[in-house]
Amino acid sequence: MNADATRPTPVPSAFEVRELFEGLLGRAVEWTATSNIVDPIDGATVGAYTNDFGVVKALVLCDIALTARAGSAIALLPQMGAESTIKDGLVTAAQFDNLAEILNVAGSMFNRPHSPHIRLDTTYAPRETLPADVAKWTLVPASRIDGVLTIQGYGEGRISVVVAY
Amino acid sequence: MKVIVADDSRVMRQIVIRTLRQAGYDWWDIEEAEDGAAALTKIRASQPDFVLSDWNMPEMSGIDLLKSLRREGNETPFAFVTSEGSPEMRRQAEAEGALFLIAKPFTADVFRETIDPFIS
């Protein structure tokens, strides 16, 4: 941990989340705010971010639709494959690996000057059992942002970003 | 101009190469390496003009790759594109002779603004 970590980890803005996806996917992405949070029980890819002591400090949850669509769009995989995934509820290894790469880069949203250093520790696949110290943050009502990302040419999916407090 | 892009994520290599093209470097001859050790072998064999490397990679990290090159007297221009750009990493990269460190996520504009001065 850096000695001058005097500010709390920020909850990213909708703009930052949208910019992250747009930059990595190389195509237009729209953000729509929603109160409909991503619940792991419905199936979600979960990125858990920890500080230098291994304590969970933030989560990014992407529903199966976003996992399939963003995980396909980033590698220019066919959109039809993403639709099959959503219909069957089973993400492919490539879609999951690609989304994990996005979640790795997403760690940059939490790191600011004077905030504690955190990084992606583990990415959990949809319906994988979440450890207690991850699960307890998924549904907290505060310190979070929830939205729908619409990816040009691929469609929409939901994302929730939670900062532990 | 021959360039090697080293990153253990295939999709991230694609993104780096796509962004380089968007930034106007579509004339570069780009070779990919999937980790630091593979990059070292390819750099020795093809003697590129420039290396763009991730930091965290299996087999050999980006900073160890840079150290290995310099230790054997290889002065190929070298820069990092990493998902973390802490001040400590930037200091270490500079100390080992890296030209610059670009933190992910990046844009074509950032690539252009950072790389252009070194090309001219």
On whether any CB of chain B is under 8 Å from the CB of A114, the answer is no
* Residue A30 DSSP SS3: strand
User: Which residues of chain B neighbour A111 with C-beta distances below 8 Å?
Assistant: 84, 86
H or E element that contains A161: strand A155-163
Report the DSSP beta bridge partners of residue A150. Answer: A30, A156
The pTM score is 0.87
Percent of chain A with pLDDT over 90: 87
Strands B78-82 and A44-51: unpaired
Q: Which pLDDT tens digit goes with each residue over B15-71?
A: 999 999 999 999 999 999 999 999 999 999 999 999 999 999 999 999 999 999 999
Is the predicted pLDDT of residue B85 greater than 90, yes or no? no
pLDDT at A113: 80
Quick one: which H or E segment has residue B51?
Answer: strand B50-53
Chain A, chain B: beta-carbon pairs less than 8 Å apart: 42
Average pLDDT of the residues of chain B? 93
**A151 class by beta-carbon count within 10 Å (0-12 exposed, 13-18 middle, 19+ buried):** buried
Q: Is A97 an interface residue toward B (CB < 8 Å)?
A: yes
* Mean predicted lDDT score pLDDT of chain A: 94
pLDDT, greater one: A1 or A146: A146
- Asked if residue A2 has pLDDT above 80, the reply is no
- B51, two tokens: 């290396």
Determine the longest span between alpha carbons in chain B, in angstroms. Answer: 34
pLDDT above 90 coverage of chain B, percent: 81
User: What is the C-alpha to C-alpha distance for residues A65 and A73, in angstroms, rounded to an integer?
Assistant: 12
pLDDT at B54: 95
CB-CB contact of B99 with B111 (8 Å) = no
β-strand pairing of B2-6 with B29-33: parallel
CB atoms within 10 A of CB B37: 17
Instruction: Give the confidence band of A132 by pLDDT, cuts at 50, 70, 90.
Output: very high
What pLDDT is recorded for position B120? Answer: 66
Q: Under an 8 A CB cutoff, do A105 and B104 touch?
A: yes
A122 bridge partner residues: A48
Q: What is the pLDDT of residues A52-67, one digit of tens each?
A: 899 999 999 999 999 9
Give residue A3's pLDDT. 54
